[in-house]
Amino acid sequence: MRVGILGFGRFGRALGDLLAEAGHAHLALDPAAAIPEGRRARDLADLAARSEALALAVPIPAFGAALAALRPHLRPDHTVFDVGSVKVGPCRLLEDQLGAEVPHAGTHPLFGPVSLARAERPLRVVLCPSPRHPAAAERVRGLFRSLGCEVLDQSPEDHDRVMAQTHALTFFLAKGLLQVGAGAELPFTPPSFHAVARTLESVREDAGHLFAALQNENPFAAGARAAFLEALQAIHRSLAEAAVGGEGAAEALAIPDLGARSPALQAVRDHLDALDRELVDLLARRTELVLRAGRAKADLGLPVHDPAREAAQIRVRRAWAEAAGLDPQGMEEVFRAVLRASRSAQGRPPGP
């Protein structure tokens, strides 16, 4: 499929890379971005004329104006979709401006440039079909599946309700923590803060305009924020009461657990299973990066196997193991197995 991308910021560029990897030709148009010569459309008319599908990857506040400017160049055989993090407003604009004449659908890729760079998987996309254009939804679904994505169907309203309780609240919480200095360099942090720190880092890496768009363009975000703040105030009051109310009041503030646990051994086994699942997920991400490196090596005419680099990697990982109080020889064996799997994934026999 020939895809035109209107808006070549961080996500538009990442989408272009995914399309290229999957074998789809694409063009892009963005006056504020550097676009490779062979991929640059001259103007809106050229972008539309040379594309079968058009992806609108512009900031949500600019979406209406961008769609209106593109509309005169659209044909009934085009398929138009957006990639915004909010769906009610953009899908309404698609319906209002394109109607029955131009097939369209709304989408929200639940990934971005940072998660792609980290090779996080699986890639998921929410698809909001237009009732007028079921065939367009199927074309968009097929396009994203060809990129290796899982596609989930939701209405725009259901999508925005979920995002208000998840994406928007996460950004809201992270913004507040950053405002009080929780994201600053700290001398030490407990394990319970590590996941929060990763969340803060993810929020800081996203584009600056995204925070306000998530909060102000999602019709359900304000209600979610108000309910969250009310819950925090209630907890704050309860803590003050517990400070003078004795043991019973403190027990009422206990965070609910997930039910009665089995003996200590079962609890440890559960944690081990969770850690092993994380290890498998990390190895899958590593393999994706290895494949990406293999493609880059092929472009440069370099061999897959680099013994000097592998030896350096082993020395560094032995040092990491020793610093962590682990057996360096045991960790070397683990990493040699990982490197053998990496060479195999890049198309070379595993070797010794």
| Cβ(28)–Cβ(130) below 8 Å | no
**Which pLDDT score is estimated for 114?**
78
Pick the CATH number of 269-345 from 1.20.58.220, 1.20.1420.30, 3.50.40.10, 1.20.59.10: 1.20.59.10
Q: How far apart (Å, rounded) are the C-alpha atoms in residues 183 and 186?
A: 8
What element of type H or E holds 125?
strand 123-129
Helix (H, G, I), strand (E, B) or coil at 140: helix
| Cβ(96)–Cβ(68) below 8 Å | no
Q: Report the candidate in 27, 48, 23, 24 with the shortest Cα–Cα distance to residue 39.
A: 27
What element of type H or E holds 10?
helix 10-21
Residue 54 CB-density burial (10 A; 0-12 exposed, 13-18 middle, 19+ buried): buried
**Which pLDDT score is estimated for 244?**
78
* Residue burial 101-134, b: 16+ Cβ < 10 Å; e: rest: ebbbbbbbbbbbbebbeebbbebebbbbbbeebe
Radius of gyration of the CA atoms of the chain, in A: 25
Give the domain ranges of the chain.
3-154, 160-228, 269-345
How far CA 43 is from CA of 17, 27, 28, 68, 98, in Å, comes to 21, 11, 9, 14, 20
Cα atoms in the 13 Å half-sphere on the side-chain side of 116: 21
Q: Report the candidate in 21, 29, 88 with the shortest Cα–Cα distance to residue 56.
A: 29
Q: How far apart (Å, rounded) are the C-alpha atoms in residues 86 and 213?
A: 8
**Which pLDDT score is estimated for 14?**
94
Give the count of beta carbons closer than 10 Å to the beta carbon of residue 285. 15
| Cβ(116)–Cβ(44) below 8 Å | no
Query: Topology of domain 3-154, per CATH?
Result: Rossmann fold (3.40.50)
Mind listing the pLDDT tens digit of every residue in the chain (352 residues)?
899 999 999 999 999 999 999 999 999 999 999 999 999 999 999 999 999 999 999 999 999 999 999 999 999 999 999 999 999 999 999 999 999 999 999 999 999 887 888 778 889 999 999 999 999 999 999 999 999 999 999 999 999 999 999 999 999 999 899 888 887 777 888 888 888 888 888 777 665 668 888 999 999 999 999 999 999 999 898 888 888 776 666 666 776 654 455 566 666 777 788 888 889 889 988 988 988 888 888 888 888 778 888 889 999 999 999 999 988 888 888 998 898 888 777 765 444 4
**Which pLDDT score is estimated for 249?**
61
Q: How far apart (Å, rounded) are the C-alpha atoms in residues 238 and 103?
A: 54
**Which pLDDT score is estimated for 80?**
98
How far CA 66 is from CA of 14, 59, 80, in Å, comes to 20, 10, 12
What's this model's pTM, rounded to 2 decimal places?
A: 0.74
